[in-house]
Chain A
Amino acid sequence: MSSDERGSARVRLLAHVEEAARSIAPLWPLSTAIAVNPLWDLRQMPFHQAVRHAQQVLGISGYPSSALFALAYAAGRVNVGDLRAVLDGGRGVAACRDVQAWHEPEPGTRRLKTAAERHDGIFGSQVAASVDREVAKWCAAYLAGIVPTGPTEGFYAAWREVVVFDPSARSLAGGVGRKRLAELGADPENAILTCLDLLGISDEDRATELARHLARMPGWAGHAKWRSRWAAPDQPGPSLHLVDYLAVRLSYEAVLLADEAVLPGSARGHTAKRHRARTAPHHRRTEGAAQALDDHRARAGGSVAVDLPDDVKRRLGGLSATALAKVWLAAYEGHYQDRLLGALDRPPPEPPPHPQAQVVFCIDVRSEGLRRHLEGCGPYETFGFAGFFALPIRFSPWWSDEAMDLCPVLLRPTTRVAERPVTSTGQAASRELAGRQAVAAAQRAFDATRKGALSQFLLAEAGGIIGGPIMVAKTLAPSWYQAVRRWAHQLIAPPAATVVDVDPDADAMSDDERALYAEAALTTMGLTRGFAPLVVLCGHGSTTENNPHASSLDCGACGGNRGGPSARAAAAILNRQATRGLLAERGIIVPATTWFLAAEHDTATDTVSVLDPHLVPEDHADGVATLQSALDRAGAATAAERASLLPGTEGRRRVTGPAGRAADWAQVRPEWGLARNAAFIVAPRSVSAGVDLGSRCFLHSYDAATDPEGVALETILTAPMVVAHWINAQYYFSTVDPDVLSAGDKTAHNIVAGVGVVQGAGGDLRVGLPLQSLYDGDRAYHEPMRLLVVVEAPEMLLEAVIARNPVLEELFDGQWVHVAAREGGHDHWKIRRAGGGWVHWTAADAHTDTKEHTNRG
């Protein structure tokens, strides 16, 4: 091959890798874990087509099981009226123009296979499983820093250096094969091309072959995709890129299957048998998972074992398994849609005329209950806005060199914001810093001892005297232990008063930029006049113990971090005179008597803490105290409501309430998180005020009257709505395909290199959400449905925004989400069909009461 041909092949290869990677989702490291639609890069296809593609590549079902629908039917969660509405084509949400198509035979779903899988199918060997095992082992070792690497050395280069000494590579491929593994080229792209040539994969089949390679282990491949396509260029840590990952995988396959130098003639069959003997335990797991998948697929598409009226039974009888699943899913979604729109189909009540405070919460569904209860506690008005408060910042705590990006992953931070001790607390700050440094040094020493070859045994012997009682205390009296730990921490490093520094300097935002972000936040949430004396910006986070997935319970709009720093920065900017002056020039007049206050909602305990209390002016002190009291009452009511939904709160072996759960290091379900999320409401709060939405709705405040060009609506739909869709889709797919797209059982998790968890001793990183976030025992707690987006805005404005944003056309026309809208409070809801037609919403069963909705059905 000439150098030009090689160059051309390398360019094509990069395009093939990119195409292959569409079938898998990026996987963020545990410290900043965020939800993502596992099929996000297939969104150019309609939902059902993308699911079909994923069935072939990932081997998923993509639809809820028939058992789930049967249980829902028995519980009245979906009924005959819902099914008839779908089959009659009368329900917009169901894409009923597809009804006729559902009766047409579907093309067979051909499961794609790698060369190793095809070989295994013929010879009964387990080459593919062996490759998985080896690659997973090396990925973990590389990311954990066990493999020695040069400063710029990638995964493939590092692996080549050490694989020639690997006994299991010798056992797998023999001495010659092990040597050959490192002889396929120093460059990963060239190595992939060589391997594909050896395996006989033609140019047109390469993207498909690579896609299946990535799908074999979507966790490690997802981490590589994150690193290749989402991580910041200056992201620290070892770089495991997609091309390196594929080069290592294909090297094993090529050497084991196609390299005549290693396996001439019938030796391949002999080696395959040897593999079978060696990899039996691993393979049994793989085989077991495959069997579970097959069972799940059979359940997913099959007929739902319920007693239906003859007319419905007859009409469902001619449908394929997949079409049946589509009908049931549409009916199941329609049932919820009817109850939600029914509850919102009323003229909105007037908001309190002179609120004592306006509290801006994150759009997160967990804010809904707290907002509802706070509004019931007095003249308080609440708003919903993405919890980064329109400030994409890189934040540094004053006692740390490390920084965190506080913004949705759709954005890169535009500026650095640092915390600093207030000037008057110099001595206190020094004491806190010394205390924190002492704790950090002790932690480092402990970790070093724990990882030492011999010292770990000494530590276990010597540390048992202290560690034993601590473990007993943590287990038997978690709340007490937490209180003692807090007390000790306060003693060693008493917190000094700090501020988030937003004053302009050479590296930070200018006053104009600050005003621009402040204006964007206020106009997008529709808060441009009628300011209360206190406007609270309330971020959120979740305090839990021993929880590798803790960051997934924090604020997604803050990149999987706590939202307190964002609230503090935004409040500081909005309290600056310079910002207010510039806002006034833009027509937003914030009274001098209004104070922006930062707070943080702990969703594990439903407590709200006021942040930076030392900055509150004296004349607002009473107002803050009164508000804190109301927040305490609202938090207690929300916690009580939430406790009733958590399992294990009754009987003799009941567990403690939310606060106790949060402190318990053995608690696998400290909170339900965003389970049962179902809708995204873009409207003034008055549209949903007073309705118990069951903590199932993302609530984004929006006032179309202040947005004639649709700029704010566009911002909401292209960013917060996309993030809400990701969360919704992750919950959906983790629930319907837990074997492939959930993180599995928490109790068997082991953390690998801080980037993810594996189930048991090794294997693939688990993607998605843990089962304990989705299921209560065998029964799904989360209701898998596509997100329903409810907008109060003129139809023409909404269509104009959709038409100029391809991502919205893809999501709405492709039915990844459903859309309902009305122009004003006195109009009735309409449903948007794929392609842009609107139909009036009518409930499938007008006689069904709304009790189920208000009971979070």
Chain B
Amino acid sequence: MDETWGLSQMTRIEVVVSGEDVAVAADLFSEAGARGFTAVSNVSGLGHGGHHQGRLLFNQRDALALLTVVLPAERAGTLVEGLRSLLVNRSGVMLVSDTWVSRPEYFR
């Protein structure tokens, strides 16, 4: 990362969960102090359990959603811990990475 860009480092957490788990994941984000998140509904892909269909015409709760949340590194550990507990008994993916943002005040 080029420091002259003037960006601030944050932690990005992406989770793929079924539609019915979006609400509880959002609760965890909120509890961890995240100021917002992005949700993409009806995502598809290949994972540990095989291919996953994206859009289900008449079932929104079993279709998969991708949630992306960005927050300061010092608060990320709490959220990772909560999401890990949530995913113990249900299918899902959690990806954690460093990211840089131009307006850090939006994420603190």
Contact = CB atoms under 8 A, between A and B. Distances in A.
Given A11-B28, A806-B91, A714 B53 contact: yes
Interface string B68-108: 00000011011101110110111100000000000000000
Interface string A5-37: 001101110111011001000000000000000
Given A8-B77, A229-B23, A804 B50 contact: yes
A803 B50 contact: yes
B57 to A, nearest CB: 5
B89 A715 contact: no
Given A7-B33, A229-B23, A806-B49, A16 B78 contact: no
A410 interface: yes
A15 B28 contact: yes
Contacts of B78: 4, 7-8, 11
* Listed residue (A8, A11, A412, A804) with the most chain B CB atoms within 10 angstroms of its CB: A11
B60 A412 contact: yes
A10 B85 CA distance: 12
* Listed residue (B24, B52, B61, B86) with the most chain A CB atoms within 10 angstroms of its CB: B61
Contacts of A19: 85-86, 88-89
B20 A229 contact: yes
B27 A719 contact: no
B56 A714 contact: yes
Given A12-B85, A16-B85, A44 B60 contact: no
A496 interface: no
B52 A11 contact: no
A18 B24 contact: yes
Given A14-B31, A714-B53, A804-B52, A411 B59 contact: yes
A807 interface: yes
A520 interface: yes
Interface in B38-68: 49-53, 56-62
Nearest to B23: A229
A686 B33 CA distance: 58
B24 A229 contact: yes
Contacts of B62: 410, 718, 722, 805-807
A304 B75 CA distance: 59
A792 interface: no
A188 interface: no
A720 interface: yes
A390 B51 CA distance: 26
A809 interface: yes
A804 B51 contact: yes
A392 B61 CA distance: 14
A723 to B, nearest CB: 9
Interface string A803-815: 1111101000000
Q: Which 8 A-B pairs have the closest CB atoms?
A: A719-B58, A15-B85, A11-B82, A804-B51, A804-B53, A8-B78, A410-B59, A807-B62
17 contacts: A4-B78, A8-B77, A8-B78, A10-B31, A11-B79, A15-B82, A15-B85, A19-B85, A19-B89, A229-B23, A410-B58, A410-B59, A715-B58, A720-B58, A803-B51, A804-B52, A805-B53
Given A15-B85, A807-B59, 4 more contacts: A44-B90, A715-B58, A804-B53, A807-B62
Interface of A: 4, 7-8, 10-12, 14-16, 18-19, 22, 44, 189, 228-229, 386, 390, 392, 408, 410-412, 520, 714-715, 718-720, 722, 803-807, 809
Interface of B: 18, 20, 23-24, 27-28, 31-33, 49-53, 56-62, 74-75, 77-79, 81-83, 85-86, 88-91
